[in-house]
Structure 1
Amino acid sequence: MHEEITGIILAGGRATRMGGEDKGLVPIADIPLYQYVLARLRPQVGPIAINANRNQARYRESGLPIIGDLIPDFSGPLAGMLAGLKYATTEWVAFVPCDVPDFPATLIEKLWQQKGSAIAAYASDGERAHPTLALLHTSLATPLEHYLARGERKLMLFLDAARAQQVEFKGQQSAFHNINTLEDCQRWVKEKGIIHE
């Protein structure tokens, strides 16, 4: 566990492919999806908060701090990342989206070990980059604020500009599958053998 790293669960999206339903709160075996992500993240970091813009009271039931985007009506994960960087009291912040419940149990450790001297690192499965699974130094808050103020929105462009280190998790493609639709939910439940009580 890295106590010196704050963990942020990104649950601020609009979930258009879920019919607008709050993705993190979609129940799987009567447990909200974000809780599976939280269980995966908890052993890997120190303090944890959730970035959410809707249904904050329901996320608050987790007992965790809830932080909203600092930029209203923003589409994309960067506003949530900025909120997380500004919220954290640690030097480093790890981000995971609320819809990737199987991300590697070694995610934070490997990003930390392989970032080298970079002030940002993000995951790749060897075929695709997964920039929302990332480790960022809080010094990136100001450049990110300026980037967004210019109207920029692309996460990968920002990470490239920050000279982020891509860290490969070879042969772990399935760990990065995100749950976008109710069909994805059902498939995941079946794969995991999760039983509805």
Structure 2
Amino acid sequence: MKADITGVILAGGQATRMAGKDKGLVMVNHIPLYRYVLDGLAPQVGTVLLNANRNIALYRQSGLRVVSDSMPGYPGPLAGMLAGLQAAPTQWVVFAPCDVPVFPGDLVQRLWDGKREALAAFASAGGREHPAFALLHRVLISQLEAFLAQGERKVMLFFNRIAAERVIFPVKNPNFHNLNTPLDVQNWVKT
């Protein structure tokens, strides 16, 4: 199964709460944040792509293929998912945000098992949705393009429309804890 799934790290946002710094490149214990995600995702998939809209040359130094949004203006994670789906060499694509350094080592397997017959599945833990951790089939490209063309941007609204499966993960700190602000990073480094 692993070889049949492409992983995509979502690092294409504006990071307004991170004082404009590119979140994926923010250093956490002298390591760029996206590297934590790469290290957690790579063993679970056949190949990893990175979605970014700035600092492309820096991200390419990782050796990863970098894909940018096809829509201008930083339209959000769904645009990154669309870019990842369009670029993936496999039918199934799993997504992970660049600002969550710790997530389950069986993320992909659980999403795969939990999707049942659906074309998409997303993570949920402790009563909170984590829709940027998602597994989608490439057949959804046209539906996602149409959704974005209508000006829609909300990930959960799209997932509800396509009947994505919610996959419940056990609550284990610090799984799924995202680092949105410089203070989040400082607090993370202290722990």
TM-score (normalizing by structure 2): 0.97
Deviation at 1:31, TM superposition (A): 1.3
Structure 1, unmatched stretches of 5+, are 192-197
Q: Which amino acid aligns with 1:130?
A: H
Structure 2 partner of 1:166: 166
Q: Which amino acid aligns with 1:154?
A: K
Percent identity over paired residues: 57
Per mean C-alpha deviation after superposition, the further-off stretch among 6-15 and 173-182 is 173-182
Looking at structure 1, the residues matched to 171 and 50 of structure 2 have their Cα atoms a distance apart, in angstroms, of 29
1:14 and 1:75 in contact (8 A); partners too: no
Looking at structure 1, the residues matched to 150 and 28 of structure 2 have their Cα atoms a distance apart, in angstroms, of 39
Q: Which amino acid aligns with 2:147?
A: Y
After the TM superposition, list the runs of 4 or more consecutive aligned residues in structure 1 that deviate by more than 6 angstroms: none
Q: Is 1:23 the equivalent of 2:37?
A: no
Structure 2 partner of 1:82: 82
**Secondary structure of 1:54's partner?**
coil
Structure 2 partner of 1:185: 185
Q: Which amino acid aligns with 1:158?
A: F
Deviation at 1:111, TM superposition (A): 0.3
**Secondary structure of 1:136's partner?**
strand
Structure 1 partner of 2:151: 151
Q: Which amino acid aligns with 1:128?
A: R
Looking at structure 2, the residues matched to 95 and 45 of structure 1 have their Cα atoms a distance apart, in angstroms, of 11
TM-score (normalizing by structure 1): 0.94
Deviation at 1:29, TM superposition (A): 2.2
Correspondences of 1:8-157 after superposition (within 5 Å): 8-157=8-157
Question: Over residues 12-65 of structure 1, what are the superposed CA-to-partner deviations in whole Å (9 max), with x where a residue is unaligned?
Answer: 000000110000000122211100110010111111110000000000010000
Question: Over residues 98-132 of structure 1, what are the superposed CA-to-partner deviations in whole Å (9 max), with x where a residue is unaligned?
Answer: 00010111111100011100000000003100000
Deviation at 1:189, TM superposition (A): 1.8
Q: Which amino acid aligns with 2:84?
A: G
2:93 and 2:135 in contact (8 A); partners too: yes
Structure 2, unmatched stretches of 5+, are none
